[in-house]
Structures are given as structure tokens and as C-alpha cells.
Amino acid sequence: MIPASQPYVARYRQHNQATDTTHHSTKPVVAWGSDGMALVADEKTGRLVDADSYSNFAGLMEAPASQAVATLPGGGWLAEYRDDDGTTFTFTVVAWSAKSDGDLEPLCVDRDGFVSNPTEDGNFVRLYHPNEEPPAPEASA
């Protein structure tokens, strides 16, 4: 079994006989079987099953990307980075982007005015709020 690293969903055709309409529901692909089959969680049995084991299987598709639905103030949070010489520096989290999947993404503005998610930077150390600051993590040797 290979964990799913790309977000794919299995699509299932749902037909409403009363209104004679069809729509699709989806289940996230959790993993890939050794035979390349997409695996989804079966809620009834509590185990992973082949995505096509359901009679209404309609195929796979890339999961839609989560979209920003709101922006919230940064609230005083800071992003800490480690410089090449081992010292740390911070940028202010100017806002939080609320995503359609419920995730919050911190947003910082660098000295050149570019907005980015600090957690995606290679030298990112942590997010913290100065009022509840835990001890800084030890530098790795």
C-alpha cells in the first residue's frame, strides 16, 4: 500500500429516482494498492476498499483545490525563521486565510512586499503568539 500524496477523489454516481436526476458524491483516495488501485475508506466495515468496489463508481479525479473564503486579521502572531548563521528573525503574520476545507493559512509579507505562507519556506521554524510564547526549539546540530 502506498499512501496517497496527491489529492484525488473517487466519484460515485447517485441517481434520485423520484426526480430522475443524477449527481455525484466523492470519497477521498486514502492510498493506492500494490496493484495501483485507488483505495477509499468504507465507513460500514471500517477498512480500506478498492474505490471501484461500489457499483456506482464513476471514476477518479483530482480533488478540487481548497479556496480562500475569508481573511482574518493576524492577531499579533509571528513567524520565526532561522538564518544561515543560526540566528533567528521574525515576520508578523499580517492575516490568516480561511480555506474552504476549514484550514487556516498564515500570511506574511516580506521586505519586498511579497505575500506568502511562512510554513512553506525552507528556513521556517515556528508560528507563535508573544503572549503565549513557549520556549524556542533547540537548534539541531
- Do the strands 57-62 and 68-73 form a parallel or antiparallel pair, or are they unpaired? unpaired
| Confidence (pLDDT) at 139 | 54
Q: How far apart are CA 129 and CA 110, in angstroms?
A: 19
Q: What is the mean pLDDT of each run of 10 residues along the chain (141 residues)?
A: 84 85 89 94 94 95 86 95 92 94 90 90 90 65 47
C-alpha cell at 139: 537548534
| Confidence (pLDDT) at 141 | 47
Find all residues with CB under 8 Å of 11, minimum gap 6, and list them. 24, 25, 26, 57, 58, 59, 60, 61
Q: How far apart are CA 58 and CA 8, in angstroms?
A: 13
| Confidence (pLDDT) at 63 | 86
Length, in residues, of the chain? 141
C-alpha cell at 37: 488501485
| Confidence (pLDDT) at 7 | 86
| Confidence (pLDDT) at 10 | 94
Q: How far apart are CA 52 and CA 86, in angstroms?
A: 51
